[in-house]
Amino acid sequence: MKAENILVIGGTGKTGRKIVSRLEKLGHNVRVGSRSALPAFDWDQPEEWAKAMEGMEKVYITYQPDLAVPGALDAIERLVKEAKNTSIKKLVLLSGKGEREAELCEQVVIHSGLDYTIVRASWFNQNFSESFLLEPILDGFVALPQADVKIPFVDTDDIAEVAVKVLLETEHNGQIYQLTGPRTLTFKEAIDEISQASNRSISFIPITIQEYSEGMRQANLPEDFIWLIEYLFAEVLGNPSNSEVTHDVEKVLNRKPIDFSEYAGKTAAMEVWSVAARSSI
């Protein structure tokens, strides 16, 4: 197998670092796209993007903080233009399942003239252990809106494995894959499974989106972050199609996706949710 030159944008993030690890184990030449890398990749410095893509053949794209935010479409349009001016032959875009704004960014990639695959992911399991839900879990008190919505949480290990396959195999060119876990859970059901796996008492309280936003403002969180969370809860989780369980993980990987209970057990065994972990936050 020929070693390929692949740029992983967001190569230190939830999915990116796992993709980098898998590609390197397969013997490919991987360039990590991050602000701390050399050459650096920073979404706020488009004049430097060409350097990061120089000599690369394929690019995995994850946009921070989300493809739905203002400015994302312009950034993806410019990135695609830069890619076409370099040696890039294929783009793999991580998108959000059920995000209308993200689909505008997808269209830019689809109509780029380059080979592409779109990977639409449901909410990550890892939001409970590597993102904004970790701290309330450690506090033992989780209050969230959309409490009754059923969500097919997907594991970032599955996303990474799918991304590696579609980066390397031409049969996935031109495809749009929607990745979910094997079943749906409400937030309360997910917290209950985490509570059981970690042997801790964790309370769940349903609240409104407005109450959640007020709490974020009281915590002095940035307004753009609050806007994004409001969007994700109202527009994405409020979209009934996002409760649909798909079989695209199995289609690409020839195995069942990771179940939330498997994720919870593995994460609890690493003591991510232990009381002792509270002091490291």
Q: Can you list the pairs that 225-228 forms with residues at least 24 positions away whose Cβ atoms lie under 8 Å?
A: 225/65, 227/69, 228/65, 228/66, 228/68, 228/69
Q: What's the CATH fold of domain 5-122+155-180+243-258? A: Rossmann fold (3.40.50)
Only one residue has tokens 């109509």, namely: 111
Would you state the pLDDT for residue 145? 96
Q: Residue 218: pLDDT band by 50, 70, 90 thresholds?
A: very high
The token pair that represents 17 in the structure block: 């670092």
Q: Where are the domains of the chain?
A: 5-122+155-180+243-258
Q: What is the pLDDT of residues 160-185, one digit of tens each?
A: 999 999 999 999 999 999 999 999 99
pLDDT value at 220 more than 80: yes
Sequence-separated (6 or more) residues with CB below 8 Å from residue 189: none
Would you state the pLDDT for residue 126? 97
Give percent above pLDDT 70 in the chain.
98
Would you state the pLDDT for residue 247? 97
At residue 256, the 3 state secondary structure works out as: coil
- Per DSSP (E only), the strands in the chain are 5-9, 29-33, 58-61, 90-96, 115-121, 141-144, 175-179, 203-206
244 to 45, 182, 263, 281: CA distances (angstroms): 38, 10, 20, 34
Mean pLDDT of the chain: 95
Instruction: Quote the CA–CA distance of 61 and 70 in Å, as a whole number.
Output: 17
Would you state the pLDDT for residue 164? 98
Would you state the pLDDT for residue 279? 56
Would you state the pLDDT for residue 101? 86
Q: What is the pLDDT of residues 130-164, one digit of tens each?
A: 999 999 999 999 999 999 999 999 999 999 999 99
Q: What is the pLDDT of residues 4-59, one digit of tens each?
A: 999 999 999 999 999 999 999 999 999 999 999 999 999 999 999 999 999 999 99
Would you state the pLDDT for residue 277? 60
Would you state the pLDDT for residue 278? 61
Would you state the pLDDT for residue 240? 85
The token pair that represents 194 in the structure block: 């985490």
Q: What is the DSSP letter of 93?
A: E
Would you state the pLDDT for residue 99? 86
Task: Tell me the average pLDDT across 99-124.
Answer: 96
Q: Residue 100: pLDDT band by 50, 70, 90 thresholds?
A: confident
Would you state the pLDDT for residue 53? 97
Would you state the pLDDT for residue 235? 86
200 to 137, 197, 270, 279: CA distances (angstroms): 10, 8, 14, 16
